[in-house]
Amino acid sequence: MKDGETKPPAEGAAKPSPRRRPGEKPFIPFVRFEDVVVRCGHVVQFGLMPDGKDRFREDRRKKAISRDCKACREKKQQQEQEAARLRRIEREANKVQQPRTEKTPGRLPDGSQFEVRYDAAKEQWSGTLTVPTPQGAPLTFTGSGSGLFPLLSSLDKQYRAALG
């Protein structure tokens, strides 16, 4: 045999068991059950496997005791889903009740223009923002900045200050 190869199982050897799928019963069935009181105060059945076959029994018991029973967990999940549904409905109602006002426009009007130039000697951007108005005469704002985004933000702030 070469390196990395495994030899086939001998005749009569136990075959490896397939991986356990979610929802399947445990490989080793419980032989008896005992009652344990869980966090919510209810009593639930705790399954015990044959002695020597359950090395995680104490950890499973701790986990079972530290959580609510299945009915309480389902009830809590339903309550959380209902609360989330009510929050969604309330959020939608708030959107309908609070339309945008003219004092705080979200976007520049249609037809607005930015004109920017970069001066390499000064390492600075300069530019203008021209915004059309319903009266016909456009508003013009000028400015300069060390970067393009700060310049555009400055011009936008000038426009919004002129509105208010």
End-to-end CA distance of the chain: 85
In a domain, 57, yes or no: yes
Q: What is the pTM of this model?
A: 0.43
User: In the listed set 47, 68, 89, which residue is the last one of a domain according to the structure?
Assistant: 68
> In Å, what is the CA distance from 9 to each residue of 1, 5, 17, 68, 86?
14, 12, 13, 45, 60
> In Å, what is the CA distance from 24 to each residue of 21, 49, 123?
6, 16, 69
Q: What domain range includes position 147?
A: 113-163
In a domain, 77, yes or no: no
In a domain, 52, yes or no: yes
In a domain, 14, yes or no: no
In a domain, 78, yes or no: no
* pLDDT tens for each residue of the chain, 164 residues long: 555 555 555 565 555 555 666 776 657 888 999 999 999 999 999 999 988 888 899 999 999 999 999 999 999 999 999 999 999 999 988 887 766 555 556 788 888 999 999 999 999 999 999 999 888 889 999 999 999 999 999 999 999 888 87
Count structural domains, the chain.
Answer: 2
